[in-house]
Amino acid sequence: MKKWIQNGLTFALSCFFSLLLLEVALRLVFPSESYRVHYPNQRKEIQVNTEHLPGLDSLIFFSTNNVGLRGSNLQDGDVYRILALGGSTTECGALDDDQAWPQLLQKRLNDSLSEGAAWIGNAGVSGLRSSHHVQQARILLDEIEGIDLVIVLMGINDMYQSLIEDGGGEKSKETLIRNAFKQHPRKVGESWYHRTESWIRLRDLKRALHPFLQGHHFGGVDRSWEQDWLSYTQSPKSAIVPGIASSLAQFTDNLSELVEIVLSHDCQLLLLTQPTAFSEFVSEDRVSLIRAVKMMPEPLEFEVLENLMEQFNQQIRDVEKSSAVQVLELDYLLPKDDQVFYDDCHFNINGALHVSEILFPVLLENVRSAEHME
């Protein structure tokens, strides 16, 4: 019996010291001190279900560059550097790399001037709210040197969160960082084991193998979604606008902090109001609006959602303008139809092209001036 206990203790100690040595070795190889919105230098193939999503391709590629953003690699010769922040309407997760509006905008600027005149890093991540963008701006403007302009397209996720709980959704700084960055320093880990390099490497291996095991798909509509849509269409809907005063106050505070962070880094800021197309899609029996339906605690008329979105957009319009802070009312400049959107707020191929065409003349002079100063 004693020998069995002795062997067991020897085995346990051997495992412990082996894991300890492994952890020390991994920490030497992977310092884990950088922040990355996505894993750098990744490329995944995504199958898109286009049955209910107009204006999309059925096969796309989603790639990340050397600093973990969507877009071309950041190089020393890039003259005018732009960082694009936002949720899924910035990320353009249903569009190919070359179809996302930040990349289209970069191409238009460089084609008009010279290669390398402008670089745009797309830091958009689906589901992120203004509180996440504050943390991204604070960190990325330190991580990526020489950013000249920050473009921010946000508001839709804050609006939907206000439907779930007015004033809810705010989290600790550490939690916001973990949600906003796929890679972050170990100290930001949620639990002690999340802060070990061994756990981080196993997690990354699992994520790397995921597409080979299950594949990447976008826009699938199953029976439960169709049932939710049918339930919504058959239910009485409220036309009463819910109170969102606390959520609006949080959004306004985040806007002010975002402006302060960007200006403190000697950058310019371009804020875009959030376009939507609720009224276009409600007239048809289509499940592409299912996301909006699922976010409602009770069935609401889509005119109510338009009213709520307008309140968030108004906070953006009310930001104090200056030579360094501009507001572009993108919601007024885009048609509200399926030539631009594939659902309530996301751009299809043509919509992203429209966005890049609208932004191009706004940024052209800034990029041209920077190029001449080189």
Where are the domains positioned within the chain? 1-30, 33-373
Neighbours of 171 (CB within 10 A): 14
Burial class (CB in 10 A: 0-12, 13-18, 19+), 167: middle
CATH superfamily of 33-373: SGNH hydrolase (3.40.50.1110)
Give the C-alpha separation, 355 to 90, whole Å. 10
Q: Rounded mean pLDDT of 224-237?
A: 69
**Between helices 173-180 and 130-143, what is the axis angle to 10°?**
70
Residue 371 has pLDDT above 60, yes or no: no
Using alpha carbons, select from 74, 159, 184, 157 the residue that is nearest to residue 118.
Answer: 74
The two tokens of residue 363 are 């940024």
pTM: 0.86
Give the C-alpha separation, 152 to 312, whole Å. 14
Q: What is the pLDDT of residues 50-96, one digit of tens each?
A: 877 889 999 999 999 999 999 999 988 778 999 999 999 999 999 99
In the chain, what percentage of residues exceed pLDDT 70? 75
> Which residues, in sequence order, are CB contacts of 363 under 8 Å at separation 6+?
82, 105, 109, 118, 149, 270
Lowest mean pLDDT among 151-155, 192-196, 202-206: 192-196
Q: What is the pLDDT of residues 231-277, one digit of tens each?
A: 777 777 777 778 899 999 999 999 999 999 999 999 999 999 999 98
Q: Give the DSSP H/E element, type plus range, for residue 371.
A: helix 349-373
